[in-house]
Structure 1
């Protein structure tokens, strides 16, 4: 594997000017206030851990630190299910993240009805729609970062 310094495509916007608009639309959709910014960052961090993307793990760890989150909470995202640092709503969002980003056993539904029902106990329809777009955008951004390999964000 060849060591690359910097992203493979340094400025995607040069080649695809619509990318900036798409990115802005995604950011606007997920920052509508229906889901706390901390929860969004926890979801992006967990997704980055699952897919093995250093850029997203570093970026969202830095975002969480800047938001005043403790090192214990940030570190415990990797084992959120047995860590005492998360609210029930955050646990529901992290469970959805695991369901979406981890392969399911053959013949099982990735997001079963009981998991969805648990999430709806903590999020209204607008928040659930927002969480859906957060998960979709996490997948979008993970794929961009996996292919383009941007430099990790400095801690």
Structure 2
């Protein structure tokens, strides 16, 4: 079996568990539906090019009972009617935040206004934390290169 390039990061940086727990608690405050969080996390994993994160968040959505067609459509969400207006704006936000824009700001006033139609201030702040949560773990996924679909306990080299 393949293993990660890095030893277990939680052993190297013991505070990682507390940080991850705090982020999980913050994103689970109830202001955003769990399905929306999962869709945003999946799209973030796709955007940053991490197979590990993409497989992880796809699996989480499946475990939550999400429809397979919607999971598959996340990569091309603009071309389908499978998502609610609120989910679409959340997906637009994650793309705007994680994709460089050579022509100006990433999150335009127009996109913010659209998001504000579906989410109150707490929910918007929570969406920002959801995107940041994936962003926080992206370097470990890209540098450490954990094996997609294999639990952390089974793959981290000691």
Task: Give your verdict on TM over 0.5.
Answer: yes
The question of 1:102 aligning with 2:96 is answered: no
Of 120, 143, 151, the residue aligned with 2:147 is 151
Name the count of aligned residue pairs.
150
1:38-77 C-alpha deviation (Å, 9 max, x unpaired) = 1111011101111111011111111111111111100100
Question: Where do residues 76-95 of structure 1 align in structure 2 (5 Å cutoff)?
Answer: 76-95=73-92
What secondary structure does 1:118 align onto? helix
Greater relative contact order structure (CA < 8 Å, 6+ sep)? 2
Of 137, 141, 146, the residue aligned with 2:137 is 141
What secondary structure does 1:137 align onto? helix
- Tell me by how many angstroms 1:147 deviates: 1.0
1:9-30 C-alpha deviation (Å, 9 max, x unpaired) = 2311222111111111111111
The question of 1:111 aligning with 2:107 is answered: yes
Runs of 4+ in 1 over 6 A off after TM superposition: none
Q: Which runs of 5+ in 2 are unaligned?
A: 151-158
What secondary structure does 1:121 align onto? helix
Aligned equivalent of 2:156: none
What secondary structure does 2:146 align onto? coil
Rounded Cα–Cα distance in structure 1 between residues aligned with 2:35 and 2:149: 18
Aligned equivalent of 1:61: 58
Between stretches 106-115 and 87-96, larger displacement belongs to 106-115
Rounded Cα–Cα distance in structure 2 between residues aligned with 1:15 and 1:65: 31
Rounded Cα–Cα distance in structure 1 between residues aligned with 2:138 and 2:39: 14
Rounded Cα–Cα distance in structure 2 between residues aligned with 1:66 and 1:13: 25
Rounded Cα–Cα distance in structure 1 between residues aligned with 2:17 and 2:56: 19
